[in-house]
Structure 1
Amino acid sequence: MGWLWAIIVGFVLGLVAKAILPGKQYSPLWLTTIFGILGALAGNAIARAAGVEETSGIDWSRHAFQLIAAVIIVGVGEMLYTATLGKRKPRT
């Protein structure tokens, strides 16, 4: 059941990260989900290193680390995806 939660959390984090980033993103939904999963894993590692891995109640600080990591990973992944496929924003 852990893998299912990883996919769900990755999907949500990826979508929220895409919504935060300005402009149009071209990466497909499955790749956004993978970026979100990677963001969740990186955020957990950062939270563990900062000593806030587990707190009583809702782990807001851990979720904040996950979201920040997801935004960074989605942004970098989107740049790599766009550069690899050669898609560019239309010029106006």
Structure 2
Amino acid sequence: MHWLWVIIVGLVVGIIAKAVTPGKEAMGWIITAILGIAGSFISTFVGEKLGWWPEAGFMHFIGSIIGAVVLLVIYHALFRRDAAS
């Protein structure tokens, strides 16, 4: 049940991360949701293993948003379209 909650929160986190990340984005909601879920998974795994936060709580949610924003920035750096092409 815990990981199902991570997926649901990941969808919300992806939307928040997309709104927080600067720049014009041409990606759809599916990529946003996948990046949000991945950020939430990474944040959950790293945060819990390092003892930064428990399985649930507000800091866990904030950590998930930060993880998704980092993944969005990496995504934009890797798949940026040049204005000239």
Q: Does 1:47 align with 2:47?
A: yes
Match of 2:70 in 1: 72
Rounded to whole Å, the distance in 1 between the matches of 2:79 and 2:22 is 16
Rounded to whole Å, the distance in 2 between the matches of 1:29 and 1:81 is 16
Deviation at 1:27, TM superposition (A): 1.6
- Contact 2:6–2:37 (CA<8 Å) still a contact in 1? no
Rounded to whole Å, the distance in 2 between the matches of 1:63 and 1:4 is 11
Answer with 1 or 2: which has the greater Rg.
1
Deviating 4+ runs (over 4 angstroms): 1-5
- Contact 1:26–1:78 (CA<8 Å) still a contact in 2? no
Match of 2:60 in 1: 62
| TM-score, reference length from structure 1 | 0.71
Identity over aligned pairs, percent? 28
Q: Which amino acid aligns with 1:46?
A: V
> What is the CA deviation profile of residues 37-85 of structure 1, one whole-angstrom value per residue up to 9, with x for unaligned ones?
1000011012212312236xxx112112111101101121133233xxx
| TM-score, reference length from structure 2 | 0.76
Unaligned runs of 5+ in 1: none
User: How many corresponding residue pairs?
Assistant: 82
